[in-house]
Amino acid sequence: MLAGATPDVSAPASPDVAPLLSLQGITKEFPGVRALSNVSLNIYPGRVTALVGENGAGKSTVVKILTGIYQPNAGDILIEGRPTLFATPQSAEGAGVTAIHQETVLFDQLSVAENIFLGHAPRDRFGLIDIGKMADRAREILAEIGAGIDPSHKLQDLGTANKHLVAIARALSIDARVVIMDEPTAALSHKEIDELYDLVEELKAQGKAILFISHKFEEIFRIADFYTVYRDGKMVGEGPIAEI
C-alpha cells in the first residue's frame, strides 16, 4: 500500500495504548504557501511510528512544530490527551520532546560530555558547571545506548559512527519521552544502521514514543509499528504496519 494505492484515511491505527503525543487538524501557512493542511499524527509509548512522504510532503514542517520552532496556524498539539503549545524549543524539550536530526551540530574542540550537555549542563550550588556530575550523567546516557565512549574525550578524536552516538546521547540528555529520528540512517554504514535499529528497540523497551522519519520502505517495514503518510502537505493515510 505504501508504494502504490492511496491508503484509507478513514481507517486509523487502533493500538492497545493511547498516544503519548498527537497532532490534530494541524495547518501551517507561510506567505503564499500552505505547508500543512489539516494533518494529524499519533505517536505511541513503546512504539515506532514511521512518518513517510516525498520531499515537500510536509515532514520537516511537522518536526519543527513538534520541536517548538514553528507554531501551527490551526489545530491542536496534545500530550496524553491534554492540549499544549510548544511556543519555543525549550518548551518542547521541557515536555520531553527531542529530535535527532540528520546533521546535529557538534563541536570538535569540546569533550563528549560538553557536547551532550551543551546549553543545559548541571550546575553546583554556586551556579557553576558541575564537571563531575556532567561526566557521570554523560557516562550513564552513553551506557544506556550501548556506547562505550569516554565522556572526557574530545569529539575530534571520535569516528563518524561514535559522533552519531554522541548526537543521540545529546538528544536523550533532556530525559525525553518522545524521540524524533529525522532520516537518521542517511550517513550511516550498513553495520551502523543495524546498531541504530538495536538502539531503537532499546528505546521502545524503555517506553519511549518514537517518530521515525524515512522515505526508505525497507527501513519502515524493519523498524516501525505504525505508519502515517503525508503527500503535498496532507495526510493521506495511517495504520499498523502489520496490516499492509
CATH of the domain at 68: 3.40.50.300
% of residues, the chain, pLDDT over 90: 61
pLDDT-derived band at 70 (thresholds 50, 70, 90) equals very high
End of a domain among 175, 191, 216? Answer: 175
Question: For position 106, what pLDDT does the model report?
Answer: 87
Q: How many CB atoms are located within 10 Å of the residue 112 CB?
A: 28
Residue (of 31, 33, 169, 20) closest to 96 by Cα position: 20
Nearest-angstrom CA–CA distance, 48 and 224: 5
* Claim to verify: residue 210 and residue 118 sit in the same structural domain: no
What confidence score (pLDDT) does residue 215 get?
81
Provide the domain limits for residue 120: 105-175
181 and 71, same structural domain?
yes
**Percentage, residues of the chain above pLDDT 70:** 93
Domain end among 175, 194, 227:
175
Compute the half-sphere exposure of residue 212: CA atoms within 13 Å on the CB side of its CA: 30
142 and 183, same domain (yes or no): no
| Residue 140 and residue 225 in one domain | no
Grid coordinates belonging to 202: 532499546
Please indicate, yes or no, whether residues 39 and 131 belong to a single structural domain of this protein.
no
Whether residues 170 and 183 share a domain: the answer is no
**Which of 175, 190, 206 is the endpoint of a domain?**
175
Same domain, 116 and 90: no
* C-alpha cell read off for 239: 495504520
Instruction: Say whether both 91 and 180 belong to one domain.
Output: yes
* Band (171; pLDDT cuts 50, 70, 90): confident
pLDDT of residue 140: 93
- List CB contacts of 7: < 8 A, sequence separation 6 or more: 1, 229, 236, 237, 238, 239
Pair 160, 48 in one domain: no
Q: Are residues 61 and 51 part of one domain?
A: yes
Instruction: Output DSSP code: residue 241.
Output: G
**Are 225 and 213 a contacting pair, CB within 8 Å?**
no
Round to whole Å and give the CA distance between 81 and 45.
13
* Mean of all residue pLDDT scores within the chain: 88
Residue 24 has φ and ψ, to the nearest 5°, of -130, 120
Domains held by the chain: number: 2
Same domain, residue pair 92 and 12: yes
The answer on 70 and 181 residing in a single domain is yes
CA dihedral 105, 108, 111, 116 (to 10 degrees): 10
